[in-house]
Structure 1
Amino acid sequence: MSVEVSRLSNGLTVATETLPHLESVALGVWVKSGSRNERDDEHGIAHLLEHMAFKGTGKRTALQIATDIEDVGGEINATTSVETTAFYARVLRDDLPLAIDILADILMDSRFDPVELEREQHVILQEIGAAHDTPDDAVFDRFTETAFRHQAIGRSILGTPETVKSFTSEQLHRFMERQYGADRMVVVAAGGLRHDEFVREVEARLGSFRDKADTALPQYSHYVGGDYRENRDLMDAQIILGFEGRAYHVRDFYASQVLSMILGGGMSSRLFQEVREKRGLCYSVYAFHWGFSDTGIFGIHAATGEADVDELVPVILGELQKAGERIEQAELDRARAQYRAGLMMSRESPASRASQIARQLLLYGRPIEMEELMDRLGALTVERLTDLSARLFTSKPTVTALGPVGSLAPFESIRDMLAAPRRTPPRRLAG
């Protein structure tokens, strides 16, 4: 199995990975444009556009889009992220031309009918309300807003009720014209298909798509950090501690991914064992690292009862400080094995594989072979991870808390403890 890549005359990149044992194909169009590409008065428009893409074209109504794909047992959907928007489908191999035609149709000829637009705006307002009422969703929105204050990269993908209600069909068309060009798009498929046949089908339907997007890429983003707290009458407290992470292209990106697994990537991780298993201070704790094209963020999320808030955070901070002093070889080996297993398992899903190839093409301009990824992971050492931890966890933190969080220590106390020599056992912070 290997990835084949072609480029159409308009600059559109087309890639496939043939999995001959499969009877199905996962395919999609990925666009290098997401919520961070929005202007200030367009907050939420990328997500709204994704919704509206299925609401009718010049030759298909919204119902016909759904019935055409489901009549052959296929699936179609879309998603918006900070930096990309994807429109994707999965069908049996014989129905691949139909799936390509539908995806091309919504990209080339979506109508954004005003009646459908009003209906979908109402749906998204409900989605925004549901996110606000879901504490573990709301806390992440506040987290990114605090970490990247006053920047599009930190804003909620959903937008606000005010901005979503304000958008018109004309604004959707203008945003699409500015942001969607063949130079920022890739079409990828994985499964039971032939590369040359797929390229011909894509050329026939998307070969005339405009060659260039009409606007510059978003401005460079920078991590700010800071503090946000919202007292709510809830049963549990949602807390996120964050630090400046690493972009996809920098040396420490993979080291940061592995470090997040060592600290909070599973039941054997340091935070799970110390905070949850040994001390019983929370019912959920994990670490994560999100990389973007020019920045990143490293975080620890914990959910706990009100009575344990004041003790929980010092214990977490103590574990972060320990990581800057010592990481065991066995921990690195285990995290590497987890990372490798995750990559290998994702290759068994054509949808996951297509998405992985698309991300690599958009970020690096080429598919990354598994051997190259393994070499990068194999080059990591405990000394490098320890050094990264020491630098990462002494930078300015982001503290975000939602729920009964009145006993959470002040931001300055948390920041000062991270900068101070570690004490054993970790002390409670003054409230």
Structure 2
Amino acid sequence: MSERYFQHTFPNGLTLVCEKMPGMQSAAMTLLVPAGGANDPPDYCGAATVLGELVLRGAGPRDSRQLTEYLDRLGLQRSSGVGVHHTRFACAAVAARVIEAMDAYADIVQRPHLPEAGFLAARDLALQALAGIDDEPRSKVFIKLREWHWPSPFGRNAMGQKDDLQKLTLELCRADFATRYHARDSIIALAGNIDFQQVKDAVQRVFGSWNGRAPQPLKVLPPPGNYHFEQTSSEQTHIGIAYRSVPETHPDYYTARMAVECLSGGMSGRLFTELREKRGLCYSVGASYSSLKGYGSVMGYAGTTNERAQATLDCFVAELYRLSEGVSQQELDRAKIGLKASIIMSGESTSARAGAIAHDYFIRGRIRTLDEISAAIDSIRVEQVNEYLKNNRPGPFTIVIVGPRELKLPT
């Protein structure tokens, strides 16, 4: 690994990954704790989301208000959220302030107060966010698409289910915290103007005594089916389509990514050109590569009027099948430029890099350098992409429809 990158696993199982970014004055930190939607307790879907909010309501020597004010005084731009595998805590600021904030984040994941008043507020916020999905049909489509496409429990909605959230109690949250907030399989990533030894020493000091309990294995089941219709009273129909692809660790990963970029890489991608520009079928359309650990998929979306919904679905699927006939050199060149541009832009953000190296370590067990990624993209030839597409025809499809009427599924 080059002098720009560093990784170290502590005796308790916590892994530190770092990227030094010369010329930056700021730094960013991402902390991943193995408490995601997939390993929520049985019958308590959404527990990780409530717990992720609750741990921020006072920790260590500070109550909720004191903790918030302390982090604000450090000038931190911060966020948190729950995904499939982890609860994520992230912050960015002048580098010295990020190192200083580690004490508070160590308190948050090791010594939260978990107060009753904070629990009631955290649960109410989760219920409000869940109810708000009804006003965001595009979000609803992707939630249902993941639920019906990914193996269970990876397709669970991390926001939870209403019935499960309503029966969640503070005692259950406290027990859940004791079970899932542990150092083993947690990842802390820093990127920016940092000194590796200083960071390592700081992490050892504040996280070194964190317990290293082993996680519980998950029972993985097949997805519930390949079609879901949710009726809504609306002037619009929202369509979600997914099919399996290779995982990120597969030798054909970059080839598969290039194929998806040709399909939907901006306004010159096939989906946008054929469905929106040429035919005027939909106001929004696109597809992208999506992955979990050990799984890869292509997920697409189209939003259209009810009158054009059937034609939009038919044309969408036709374009997916047409992709297996191959792409041109011009399409591949354009896809490479677009993907490399996004990599260059993310390489200028300490927050993006901290998140990326944490993701890399979780998926691959190592950090990819930006030069490695760029070289891998450059190495892909059009013959490679077309051979891959010939041997990996899209499908079978998972299809989700949110709208007033069901559509005829493609054969």
The structure 2 residue matched to 1:141, chosen from 140, 143, 159, is 143
Give yes or no for contact 1:91–1:99 (8 Å, CA) kept in 2: no
Name the structure 2 match of 1:310: 310
* Residues 131 and 138, structure 1, Cα contact 8 Å, conserved in 2: yes
Cα distance between partner residues in 1 of 2:346 and 2:127? 34
Q: Is residue 98 of structure 1 aligned with residue 100 of structure 2?
A: yes
CA 1:222/1:336 → structure 2, altered by over 3 Å: closer, same or farther? farther
Asked if structure 1 preserves the Cα contact closer than 8 Å seen for 2:247 and 2:291, the reply is: yes
Q: How does 1:252-271 map to 2 (within 5 A)?
A: 252-271=252-271
CA distance in 2, matches of 1:266, 1:342: 12
- The alignment partner of 1:308 has SS state of helix
1:159 counterpart residue number: 160
Q: CA deviation at 1:124?
A: 0.9
Instruction: State the partner residue of 1:110.
Output: 112
Following the alignment from structure 2 to structure 1, what is the Cα–Cα distance between the partners of residues 335 and 219?
Answer: 34
User: Counterpart of 1:300?
Assistant: 300
Residues 1:223 and 1:381: Cα distance change in structure 2 (over 3 Å): farther
**Separation in 1, partners of 2:378, 2:219:** 34
> What is residue 125 of structure 2 aligned with on the other side?
123
SS at match of 1:184: coil
Equivalents in 2 of 1:332, 1:219: separation in Å?
40
Return the alpha-carbon distance in structure 2 between the equivalents of residues 360 and 336 of structure 1.
21
Partner of 1:400, secondary structure, is strand
User: Larger deviation: 96-105 or 350-359?
Assistant: 96-105
Paired with 2:340 and 2:175, the residues of 1 have a C-alpha distance of 42
Q: CA deviation at 1:160?
A: 1.0
Contact residue 221 and residue 295 of structure 1 kept, 8 A:
no
Match of 1:335 in 2: 335
The one-letter code matched in structure 2 to 1:246 is V
Q: Secondary structure at the match of 2:88?
A: strand
Q: How does 1:134-283 map to 2 (within 5 A)?
A: 134-148=136-150, 151-216=152-217, 218-220=218-220, 222=222, 225-283=225-283
Preserved contact between residue 76 and residue 98 of structure 2 (Cα < 8 Å): no
Distance in 2 of aligned mates of 1:242 and 1:328 = 24
Deviations 1:284-320 (CA, angstroms, capped at 9, x unpaired): 1101121111222212210011111122122222212
Range 127-136 or range 140-149, more displaced: 140-149
Query: 3-state SS of the aligned residue for 2:333?
Result: helix
Deviates more, 1:183-192 or 1:18-27: 18-27
Measured in 1, the distance between the counterparts of 2:373 and 2:111 equals: 39
TM (normalized to structure 2)?
Answer: 0.93
Query: Secondary structure at 2:240's aligned position in 1?
Result: strand
Q: What amino acid is aligned across from residue 47 of structure 1 in structure 2? A: T
Deviation by residue 1:33-84 (Cα, 9 ceiling, x = unmatched): 4111223323111111111121112411111111001123222321111122
TM-score, scaled relative to structure 1: 0.89
> Which AA in structure 2 matches 1:207?
G
Quick one: distance in 2 between partners of 1:254 and 1:45?
35
Matches within 5 A, 1:363-374: 363-374=363-374
Kindly provide the amino acid, as one letter, of the partner of residue 42 in structure 1: Y
Q: CA deviation at 1:219?
A: 3.7
The letter for the 1-side match of 2:295 is T
Tell me if the contact between 1:276 and 1:285 (Cα under 8 Å) persists in the aligned partners: yes
Moved segments of 4+, more than 4 Å:
220-225, 390-394
Q: Which residue of 2 aligns with 1:6?
A: 8
- Contact 1:27-1:88 at 8 Å conserved across structures: yes
Kept after mapping to 2: 8 A contact 1:28/1:103 = no
Aligned partners of 2:285 and 2:47: how far apart in 1? 33
What amino acid maps onto 1:7 in structure 2?
A: T
Aligned in 2, Cα 1:221/1:92: closer, same or farther, shift over 3 Å?
farther
Q: What number of residue pairs does the alignment pair up?
A: 409
Mark the CA change 1:372 to 1:15 in structure 2 (over 3 Å): closer, same or farther: same
Deviation at 1:393, TM superposition (A): 4.3
Structure 2 CA distance, aligned partners of 1:326 and 1:159?
A: 41
Task: Report the counterpart of residue 349 of structure 1 in structure 2.
Answer: 349
Judged with a 3 Å threshold, the aligned counterparts in structure 2 of structure 1 residues 395 and 19 are, in CA distance, closer, same or farther, namely closer
CA contact (8 A) 1:181 1:210 kept: yes
Give 1:279 deviation, angstroms. 0.7
Inter-partner Cα distance in structure 2 for 1:382 and 1:224? 37
Contact 1:182 1:212 survives alignment (8 Å): yes
CA gap of 1:176–1:245, structure 2 versus 1, over 3 A, is farther
TM-fit CA distance, 1:278: 0.7
TM-superposed CA distance for 1:384, in Å, is: 3.6
Q: Distance in 2 between matches of 1:208 and 1:27?
A: 20
Q: 1:181 to 1:3 in 2, by over 3 A?
A: same
User: Which 10-residue stretch deviates more, 155-164 or 22-31?
Assistant: 22-31
**Residue in 2 that maps onto 1:420:** none
Query: Quick one: structure 1 residues 222 and 377, their matched pair in 2 at CA, closer, same or farther if it must change by over 3 Å?
Result: farther
CA contact (8 A) 2:74 2:101 kept: no
CA contact (8 A) 2:59 2:104 kept: no
The verdict on how the C-alpha distance between 1:40 and 1:379 changes in structure 2, with shifts beyond 3 A counting, is: farther
Q: Report the CA distance between 1:11 and its aligned residue.
A: 3.0
Deviation per CA, 1:127-158, whole angstroms, max 9, x where unpaired? 00001221111111111222236x11111110
Larger mean CA deviation between 251-260 and 319-328 belongs to 251-260
Distance 1:231 1:168, change over 3 A: closer
Which runs of 5 or more structure 2 residues have no equivalent in the other structure?
A: none
| Residues 50, 78 of structure 1: 8 Å contact kept | yes
2:62 to 51, 60, 63: 60
